[in-house]
Amino acid sequence: MRKRPLSPPPRLGRWMELANLATAGAALLVASILLIVFQFLSLRNALLEDLHVQAKIIGENSAAALLFNDSRASTETLAVLAASSSIEAAGVFTPEGKLLASFRRDGVKPIAMPSSSLIEDTHRFGFNHVELARGIDFDGSTIGLVAVRASLDRLYTRLVGYAGLTLAVALGSLAVAYMLVARMRRVVKRTEAHLEYLAHIDSVTSLPNRHAFNERLSAALSRVDEFGGGTGLLLLDLDNFKIVNDTLGHHCGDLLLKLVAQRLLECLRGGHVLCRIGGDEFAIILESSTDIEGEGLAEKILVALSAPFDVDVHEIYVTASVGISIYPDDAADMETLTRHADNAMYQAKSKGKNAYEKFHPELNQRVQKRLSIENSLRKALERRELVLYYQPQVSLRDGRLVGMEALLRWNSPELGMVSPLEFIPVAEDSGLIVPIGRWVMHSACKQIAAWRDAGLGAVQVSVNLSARQTKDSHLMHDILSALRENDIPPSQLELEITETVLMENVHANVELLHRLQAAGIRLSIDDFGTGYSSMAYLKRFPIDQVKIDRTFVRDIPGNGDDEAITTAIIAMAHSLGLSVVAEGVETGQQLAFLRDAGCDIMQGYYFAEPRPPEQVTAFLKSRAALLEPAHAAR
């Protein structure tokens, strides 16, 4: 079902070809005729010139004979003309018109005394003959005249020969030119076809590319508009293709794409068109499909992709996220249709990947909300809507306060209290996280200084670093300037980086962590146990502390697996000389288990929830007052 390229229909092309040929032929014919006419004129002129020369010679040589009235001698002179094949007859006349001598070939009529008009014109062309008269001058006076008549037969014969040759050459060159043009046209046509192929086909998978996808989808939608029915659009994105490309190389990436395309094709039926529209993005157009068919196909695809792929020596597992939207149910135009399928696909991805999602209006609302969050967030910094809450971290051994974790809160006038789970990803995607992160850093440092200045001691504060911030080249400079401005020792600042962020770009992050550590800043791995919990990496990163993810803490005691993992993490961290923090501690049982397991620090509602700075300040003050006497007693 390939779309026909936009070129003139073949029949018209054929006619144009013939018209071109006819035009070239006509031009050649005109040129040939002009050449023949020119040739005729030049042959005639040459003949005339020749006759003039002959007549002049005859005249010169007849002068004496004329003077002495010697017709024998004059006849002898004229006899030479037998050698000039086109001359038929000639004569020498006295001024009185008396014929002194003549020459003529057999069977032609003798020459007559030229008429006075001919003498005046010197020559006259007839149809078959040319006549020429020329006076004979001697010693300053005209003593007679020569008349010559020549046949044009030879001229015509030569002209016909020339015309034949010219036309033959013209026809020959026309034929050669036609052949060349035809060959060129074939080459051009082939090249065009190839270009057309290249413009519409993805070279890796041999599937239609994005360009072709747009054309086909547009055509499919036009057909729906015309004949009714519906068209489904499936957008499919490979979830971890980037890792394959980065770790195994582009060659393997391409190979994998080819295999994925093959498996996808096996899932399709007639009326389905598979296109590759981006690096790891595929699209499937389902003509005249129903909802169910789209979702059924998506399921089928996810199952088909779940089997491992053999790429070179590697066995690769691929998952995909699929978004589905239907025309005209979900969208009224192609652009919206594609966008909705895209939104659905991202929804599937955010649901945890390897899933499909059918577009539904709430999805759009979610997207709308995300958009409004982004818009409000842009203004949040200026409007001072962002606040840092602090949650105490307490030593499990002696109940001592060891630090605070700074947690970002946003109270938006338009949206109310927005959860960090909602706005942090938006900030990440939009890049707003960088200025926000900078603000958090300065704000936290300022708070440390405020507590110090209020006589509440050196409180250590930990701040979370996002993935985007670790890639910000100004990060180091921002942190150091925040510390310097508030005159805070680096050891009072702790940075928390999630395991997942660290693993995204191990090499760059190892370097960053080394620089941070060299500056004296404490480093902690957040959400430990959720990602690639590689012991080898723990050893490589210059870290001081590990934070066990709250999901493990939630189910202890009672869940044997989580207990085992928690115990193992603590043991391992200790053996590497790292301290361990447990997050989300809410019950006394959890506390007891963690203490038994040897955990160093805990953080959670059991002890204190995150609070705004002024409450924390009050808490610190009351604690200071409590501890004061103890100190005094000691």
Partner 1 sequence: MPVMTSDAMARMMHCVAVAMFLLPSASYAQRVPEYELKAAFAYNFVLFTEWPADTVYEGGTLNICINPNSAMRPSLNSLQGKPAKGRKILIRALAVPDDIRSCHVLFIDSTDSERWLQIERHLRNASVLTISDEDGSPEGGIIELSSDGNRVVFDIDMKKARNARLVLSSKLLRLARAVQ
Q: How far is the C-alpha of 440 from the C-alpha of 387, rounded, in Å?
A: 9
Q: Name the minimum Å distance from CB 140 to partner 1.
A: 7
Q: Which is nearer to partner 1, 139 or 335 (CB)?
A: 139
Q: Which is nearer to partner 1, 10 or 140 (CB)?
A: 140
Q: Which is nearer to partner 1, 61 or 590 (CB)?
A: 61
Q: Name the minimum Å distance from CB 55 to partner 1.
A: 17
Are 146 and 100 contacting, i.e. CB atoms less than 8 angstroms apart?
A: no
Q: Name the minimum Å distance from CB 83 to partner 1.
A: 19
Q: How far is the C-alpha of 347 from the C-alpha of 357, rounded, in Å?
A: 7
Q: Which is nearer to partner 1, 94 or 551 (CB)?
A: 94
DSSP three-state, residue 406: strand
Tokens (6 digits) for 603: 């953080």
Burial 567-605 (b: 16+ CB within 10 A, else e): bebbeebeeeebbbbbbbbeeeebbebbeebebbbbbbe
Residues that bind partner 1 (CB under 8 A): 61, 63-65, 67-68, 70, 73, 138-140
Q: Which is nearer to partner 1, 66 or 525 (CB)?
A: 66
Q: Which is nearer to partner 1, 64 or 450 (CB)?
A: 64
DSSP three-state, residue 322: strand
- DSSP single-letter state for residue 353: S
Are 85 and 63 contacting, i.e. CB atoms less than 8 angstroms apart?
A: no
Which value, to the nearest 10 degrees, does the dihedral of the CA atoms of residues 412, 417, 419, 425 take? -10
Q: Which is nearer to partner 1, 62 or 391 (CB)?
A: 62
Burial (CB < 10 A; 0-12, 13-18, 19+), residue 58, is buried
Q: Name the minimum Å distance from CB 136 to partner 1.
A: 12
Q: How far is the C-alpha of 237 from the C-alpha of 427, rounded, in Å?
A: 23
Q: Which is nearer to partner 1, 137 or 563 (CB)?
A: 137
Q: Name the minimum Å distance from CB 65 to partner 1.
A: 6
Q: Which is nearer to partner 1, 76 or 291 (CB)?
A: 76
Strand-pair category, 123-125 with 401-412: unpaired
Q: Which is nearer to partner 1, 40 or 138 (CB)?
A: 138
Q: Name the minimum Å distance from CB 164 to partner 1.
A: 46
Are 312 and 255 contacting, i.e. CB atoms less than 8 angstroms apart?
A: yes
**Residue 427's CB: how many other CB atoms inside 10 A?**
25
Q: Name the minimum Å distance from CB 98 to partner 1.
A: 16
On the CB side of 387, how many CA atoms lie within 13 Å of its CA?
Answer: 16
- DSSP single-letter state for residue 278: S
**Residue 85's CB: how many other CB atoms inside 10 A?**
12
Q: Name the minimum Å distance from CB 58 to partner 1.
A: 13
Q: Name the minimum Å distance from CB 115 to partner 1.
A: 29
Q: Name the minimum Å distance from CB 159 to partner 1.
A: 39
